[in-house]
Chains A and B, each alone.
Chain A
Amino acid sequence: MSIKVLFFASLRERLGRGDVQLDASSPLSIAEVWQQASGEICLPANVLVSINQTYADATAQVQPGDEVAFFPPVTGG
């Protein structure tokens, strides 16, 4: 199983990647997903997180097969 990780907008440009597949056979924390997918240690405080296209907080657990997205504050409308 894998975890699909997406980055959007300025975060995607800064990291130089839009999506990453992580191999995962057991649940991971958001911090672990961030570290493995971004290559950076700490999740920046203003970065928003979703799991399976629903907002999640930084303490959530990610299951194998989940889709996780990291993105900056939203500016629509």
Chain B
Amino acid sequence: MIAVELHDGSFDPWRYLTDWQQTRQLSARSGATAVFVGTMRDFNEGDDVQSMYLEHYPGMTENQLHAIAADAQQTWSLDDVCIVHRTGEIRPADAIVLVAVWSAHRAEAFAACRHIMEVLKHHAPFWKKETLRNGTTRWVDKNTPG
């Protein structure tokens, strides 16, 4: 199955995964779980960052995340895919994104998890606006290389 969620407020990715495993009947076929958690850094481009606002395109963002997960499921043999992403005001050390992939074997789980994150970075409609320690604000205009 595919699960996509946006959170306008902090979320604990590890609690989310625990709840997921407790409330869903995991496929006994799943021998591998790959997890990526992205958290907010307190620096960018050489400046101290105090907070960040994450804008999105309601409707299209959810559709894109779902399409990215569905595409990965077509490419690899995946049992479950879960993508959770923050929106709104974010503080350093807050989780921004959780990608979790369940598959029969580790090669597929690792590859799919990495692929989903890279496609998300370049295609999911989110935009970051940083507030620096000195009070100025700026839009982030590009992704880090990886």
Q: Which residues of A contact B (CB under 8 A)?
A: 6, 8-10, 13, 50, 53-55, 69, 71-77
Contacts and interface: CB of A to CB of B under 8 A. Distances in A.
Contacts of B141: 10, 72-73, 75
Given A6-B57, A69-B57, A75 B63 contact: no
A8 B54 CA distance: 11
25 contacts: A6-B57, A8-B127, A10-B139, A13-B139, A50-B57, A54-B60, A71-B57, A71-B127, A72-B127, A73-B141, A73-B142, A74-B123, A74-B125, A74-B127, A75-B141, A75-B143, A76-B85, A76-B96, A76-B120, A76-B121, A76-B124, A77-B97, A77-B120, A77-B124, A77-B126
Contacts of B142: 73, 75
If over half of B's interface residues share one DSSP class (helix, strand or loop), that class is named, otherwise mixed; here it is mixed
B140 interface: yes
Nearest to B143: A75
A76 B54 contact: yes
Nearest to B67: A54
